Amino acid sequence: MKFGDYRVEIVPDCEFRLDGGAMFGVVPRNLWSQTFPPDEQNRIRMNMNCVFIDTGSEKILIETGIGDKWSEKHRAMFGIDRKRSLDESLQTIAGVNANEVTIVINTHLHFDHAGGNTKLDQSGTPAPSFPNARYFISGAEYEHAEAPSERDRASYLAENWQPLKASGQMELKDADYEVMPGLRMETHAGHNRSMQCWRLDRGGQTLFGFADLVPTRAHVPFAWIMGYDLYPIETLEAKKTLLPRAAREGWACLFYHDPEQPLGRIVEDTGKLRPVALATLA
């Protein structure tokens, strides 16, 4: 899809499943199950919508999905339903191979955002999946990932970033910075203290990647906040700042975990905000 003078493609990684209760926090099951019907284990279907941006001079991949380094046990636990590798999806959807990607960005280092950063080499050792890329990661998020709390430790797997550090490909970044003209990363606390959202401004349009602040279209209502969040009141504050602005300014919004409608706009309807699916950016 054209986005101003850049090209943007949504590259879904694969479907996986997490507990619906954990995904919707204090929201009762009889409400969230209307949008996300749970399976027999109370899990909901989700995806991981990575985004490829070709600026002309850089080929950028935002997020790398869940990766392929999982045991059979974990594949079953997370309902990982991989039809093709991220490499194949990148090739099919964006027409690029892993060697051509020049910048990889993670909004944070949870395994469902950074899992495809590395893959097992022939000897079974995790190695960078994008051998020619620089990997951009928030310095604060890296520090947190290296010393997480008991509450979020299970989300951080060092195999997803340590090989990049070893290869010299990891670049630690500030809380807010410009990746390329028009593409900015900005830290919004809530999911944790250091997760970043991304914002692309090109040709008078804005595309905003909410990462785990608004993981699916069902998380647009202010109080629909994940149980995983470390600081839910800060998530609420960030949503109350960003979502009305998205509605006012007509942003295209990317909901990373939405399995069906990753791209949407926010509209205000009798005082409430709701998502409207967008088929394309044009």
Tokens of 3: 């986005």
Question: How many residues at the interface with Zn ion, by CB under 5 A?
Answer: 2
Query: In the complex with Zn ion, which residue's Cβ is closer, 94 or 105?
Result: 105
> Is 96 in contact with 87 (CB distance < 8 Å)?
no
Q: What is the nearest approach in angstroms of Zn ion to the Cβ of residue 96? A: 26
Which range of residues in 4-12, 159-167, 204-212, 261-269 is near Zn ion by CB under 5 A?
Answer: 204-212
Query: In the complex with Zn ion, which residue's Cβ is closer, 100 or 152?
Result: 152
Query: In the complex with Zn ion, which residue's Cβ is closer, 108 or 202?
Result: 108
Q: What is the nearest approach in angstroms of Zn ion to the Cβ of residue 182? A: 25
Which range of residues in 93-101, 123-131, 201-209, 212-220 is near Zn ion by CB under 5 A?
Answer: 212-220
Is 212 an interacting residue with respect to Zn ion (CB under 5 A)? yes
| Strand 118-120 relative to strand 252-254, pairing | unpaired
Please enumerate in sequence order all residues whose Cβ is within 8 A of that of 221, keeping only pairs 6 or more positions apart, or say none.
272, 273, 274
Q: What is the nearest approach in angstroms of Zn ion to the Cβ of residue 115? A: 11
Q: What's the CA gap between 119 and 128, in Å, rounded? A: 6
Q: What is the nearest approach in angstroms of Zn ion to the Cβ of residue 18? A: 10
Q: What's the CA gap between 128 and 146, in Å, rounded? A: 18
> Is 15 in contact with 112 (CB distance < 8 Å)?
no
> Is 217 in contact with 277 (CB distance < 8 Å)?
yes
Q: What is the nearest approach in angstroms of Zn ion to the Cβ of residue 228? A: 7
Tokens of 236: 């609420």
Is 141 an interacting residue with respect to Zn ion (CB under 5 A)? no
Query: In the complex with Zn ion, which residue's Cβ is closer, 18 or 247?
Result: 18
Q: What is the nearest approach in angstroms of Zn ion to the Cβ of residue 212? A: 4
Query: In the complex with Zn ion, which residue's Cβ is closer, 54 or 212?
Result: 212
Q: What is the nearest approach in angstroms of Zn ion to the Cβ of residue 99? A: 28
Which range of residues in 19-27, 211-219, 234-242, 263-271 is near Zn ion by CB under 5 A?
Answer: 211-219
Window 71-130: residues binding Zn ion (CB under 5 A): 110
Q: What is the nearest approach in angstroms of Zn ion to the Cβ of residue 191? A: 6
Query: In the complex with Zn ion, which residue's Cβ is closer, 6 or 156?
Result: 156
Query: In the complex with Zn ion, which residue's Cβ is closer, 45 or 110?
Result: 110
> Is 144 in contact with 151 (CB distance < 8 Å)?
no
Is 63 an interacting residue with respect to Zn ion (CB under 5 A)? no
Residues that bind Zn ion (CB under 5 A): 110, 212
